Chains A and B, each alone.
Chain A
Amino acid sequence: MKDILTIILRLTVTCILAAMVMGSAFIITNKAKKHNEHVNEQKVRYALLGYSAAKSIPDSMALHEMYRYIVTDKEGQSIGYLLPGKEGFYFLTLDMGGKVIDNQPVKIDEAAVLEKDLRDKAVQEIAGTGRSVTFADQTIVVTNNGERVAYLLDGKFTGFKTFIGVMLAVDPKFTILGLEILEHEEDPGLGAEIERNYFRNQFKGKTFEQLKDLDVVKEPLPDEYFQALEGNIEAADAAKILAKYGDRDIYALTGATISSRYVNTGVKGIVKKFAYRLNILDTALAERKIEVAF
């Protein structure tokens, strides 16, 4: 009996000690970690738009974040958009047919809107008690001197093992500007090759028309195409080679055809759905003459 008590006591003390160590480590590092995540996010976004530390983004360019929510009430579901206006934020709800249900200003500032918890809370307040809101995805609209130049799309789809998280950059005609793999758990050496340049860059420059029936082919990747995709040769020569292979399907990764197919299907799905949704949103905005920041 005494033994059991000591065991319980010691295990409890050990757990408390371990929890304290982990907790203090979390508190100390949390701020720096968040900062790093934010910096990394920015880096990925700028890289997709073709900017880097060496070539910084011009001042005339601005990134506007737009959040999509699913609003559920007794009658069914509708879609809500948290949009940045000229001043302040708006929450616009559309029914499934694309008709505007209502448009209300949201009391939230620029810093708070980036925090998921605060943002969700503010949106829920606007929606009221009868309706529940669920965050769906976010899109970044990139403008240059007020003109839309690109969209950055967040997306997640199933891979060979678990989900693959990506970020896509498309231009206003939905031609792909770039693809970045943010998270995945594919097999190292096989499916994990999806994050390599020679695979990702194959999507670059595919137009919306091409995307509609873009397929994955099980053929060996030609060497000159590989070198051009990896960026191993001069930019002018690479551009010529890339143009030559521009209308080809995606070459499957050796030993990871399934991962390649999932990425292809996923990317196609994200772009197609976005094009459809954006069309509805833009129509609604024009109809109601709602002024947004982008």
Chain B
Amino acid sequence: MANDKSSMQLIARGILSENPIFKLALSMCPAVGISTTVINGLMLGVAVLFVQVFSSVTISLFKNKIHPRIRIPTYTLTIATWVTVIDLALAAYLPDAYAKMGIFVKLIVAFAIITMRLEMFACKESPNDSFWDGLGMGLGFLVGMVVIGFVRELLGSGAVLGYDLLGFKPLLFFILPSAGFFVVGLMMAFFNWIELAYKRAKGKI
């Protein structure tokens, strides 16, 4: 089914029509807990991107060897392996990046979005398509996290990327984990509204 899709379409699908956060509503709890600033969101997004791409390709390569009844444990093992390898490699060769990203990388083992992509896509499609799909999903997650981080950082601490923009803190509530759900909910409504408006304008509804 996906063979007729180009790599660009696969990426666009991950970011827009099947965005992991705003459309699929997956991996909400780590996403909501971490996305207090743009930088935090970006770091977690990058970490997820790498693990997603590596795991998708690995599963896609071995898809014929995986027994259907033990696929979930196999996926979990694959993800855990890649998370460990990336964690070790970062700690060894990019210590400065690791100092900032270390805690995020370890969180990823429990991410629903990665397992879901392996189950829905990588175990059926070619490694090539899986790569682009993983990239798209990772980017979609990254974009979502950065947008949420932007809103929360601006409203919660009055800053963007650590630079004080407003000079005061409008609503401290936005830093707290529960506010993450409000932001995600409002964003979801906003994106759905845009989509509806776009479809109406095209006369599809």
Contacts and interface: CB of A to CB of B under 8 A. Distances in A.
A190 B175 contact: yes
A31 B91 CA distance: 11
Most buried by B among A6, A14, A32, A187: A14
B175 A189 contact: yes
Interface in B71-102: 73-74, 77-78, 80-81, 84-85, 88-89, 91-93, 95, 98-99
Contacts of A255: 172, 175-176
Interface string B1-43: 0000000000000000000000000000000011011001000
Interface string A4-16: 0011001100110
B156 A10 contact: no
State the main secondary structure of chain A at its contact with B: helix
A54 interface: no
Contact of A21 (B85, B157, B175): B85
Contact of A188 (B34, B66, B77, B93): B34
* Interface residue SS majority, chain B: helix
A254 B172 contact: yes
Contacts of A36: 91-92, 95, 98
Nearest to A223: B167
Size category of the B interface is: 20 to 34
A26 interface: yes
Contacts of B95: 36, 39-40
B88 A18 contact: no
Contacts of A28: 92
Given A25-B84, A188-B40, A254 B77 contact: no
Interface of A: 3, 6-7, 10-11, 14-15, 18, 21-22, 25-26, 28-33, 36, 39-40, 187-190, 254-255
Interface of B: 33-34, 36-37, 40, 65-67, 69-70, 73-74, 77-78, 80-81, 84-85, 88-89, 91-93, 95, 98-99, 152, 156-157, 169, 172, 175-177
The 9 A-B residue pairs whose C-beta atoms are closest, nearest first, are A29-B92, A189-B36, A32-B92, A189-B175, A36-B95, A25-B85, A18-B81, A29-B88, A33-B92
9 contacts: A10-B66, A10-B74, A14-B74, A22-B81, A26-B88, A29-B93, A40-B95, A188-B37, A254-B169
